[in-house]
Amino acid sequence: MATKKIVPLSWVALDPDYANRAGYDPDFLGIKVPVPKLSKELKRKATLGVLAYEHFSVLLNPDRRLAFWTAVNIDGANEKRLANRAADAWWTDDRDKGAFKPYQVTNTFYRTSGFERGHLVRRLDPAWGADDDEAARGEADSFHFSNCSPQIPALNKQWWGKIEKHVLDTANANDQQICVFSGCLFTDADPTYKKLKIPLAFWKVVAWTVGTGNPKLKSLAFFVKQDEAVAKLIKAKGVQPLAVELGTVPEAIQGYQTTVAELAAQTGLSFGDLAKEDVDVYAGKRANRLAPLAFNAIDVYRRLRRPSDLFTE
């Protein structure tokens, strides 16, 4: 509810203690929403622990040096109005005697790469709290390289940061609270550029509750692909277009809504109750359509013209 402007901490010294960061809260919505579970294959690769920040957590993929997943609690009713943004400053997470440092992609890659340092947990998502210090700490924590991913500018600016805002604006989320999971879609077809395998798509799963007294859990799932734009940037003929999997749309940047269950199958992650048909708003719409009527069917991947095309109810 506070509207006081505060000075963002993202470009000044960071508190390196981390002892005051509780990370993602699975009970935030009043209905338990745990972090994604990794498949047996992915568990063998997950040799690093979860990194806890202010209002969000990150699990790094040590093979790819990017996140398996991020998980954030967003309290839209208690977000702070941040001061005007200055030039971004990013830093590595050096806790545990630097154990995580080799598994973070830093400015050595991003400088002159053509890719933007794309937040997985967006800058404003954790910028809320009981006081200005808590909110600013959350915003500052979002600038860790562990929360960073190589994104084409059009994806980062036009799509990635607008999904949560659309849900908060349209989904009638209780007390304006949502939980968001985000990550990279890792595939064998991802091209190597400057010694880094570039994800050709990213994903989000959003959870919220509706109703009072006996609130009901709701969810949606979303992919955005950058395969054609990546191929153009790095001039790689061998890039396999993800449009083949997500729909035959040869566009540089393209978003798709899908079911949580389908996203889980693609990523190797499990989202528990969020994949149920009576929870997933898109799965519910598909189940309620008359399947034999082609004109009334909803595809596994629904092409979106803009983030506001997402089904939220």
Residue 225: give its domain's CATH number: 3.40.570.10
The answer to whether position 234 is within a domain reads yes
CA angle, residues 170, 176, 177, in degrees to nearest 5: 115
The string of pLDDT tens digits covering residues 127-183 is: 888 887 888 888 889 999 999 999 998 887 778 878 888 888 888 888 889 999 999
Per the model's pLDDT, the better-predicted residue between 254 and 88 turns out to be 254
Examine residue 89 and state whether it is found in any structural domain, yes or no.
Answer: no
* Cβ neighbourhood burial of 164 (10 Å; 0-12, 13-18, 19+): buried
For the ranges 51-55, 121-125, 158-162, the maximum mean pLDDT occurs at 51-55
- Alpha-carbon span 78 to 122, nearest angstrom: 16
Helix (H, G, I), strand (E, B) or coil at 40: helix
Cα 277 from Cα 240, distance rounded (Å): 31
- 156 located within any domain: yes
Answer whether residue 123 is part of any domain.
yes
Sign of CA pseudo-dihedral 108, 111, 112, 114 = positive
Q: For residues 147 and 244, which has the higher predicted lDDT (pLDDT)?
A: 147
Residue, of 166 and 52, whose pLDDT is higher = 52
pLDDT in tens, 62-84: 999 999 999 999 998 887 766 66
Q: Domain span at residue 273?
A: 5-83+94-309
Between CA 151 and CA 182 the distance in angstroms is 13
User: Is residue 57 within 8 Å of 70, Cβ to Cβ?
Assistant: yes
Instruction: State how many domains the chain has.
Output: 1
pLDDT, averaged across the chain: 87
In a domain, 175, yes or no: yes
pTM of the predicted protein model = 0.92
222: in domain: yes
Let me know: does 249 contact 303? Beta carbons within 8 Å.
yes
Q: What is the pLDDT of residue 290?
A: 47
Q: Whole-angstrom Cα distance, residue 186 to residue 195? A: 16
Check the CA dihedral 257-35-201-224 and report its sign: positive
Residue 298 reports pLDDT greater than 80: no
Q: According to the model, what pLDDT value does residue 136 have?
A: 82
Residue 88 in domain: no
**Residue 44 scores a pLDDT above 80:** yes
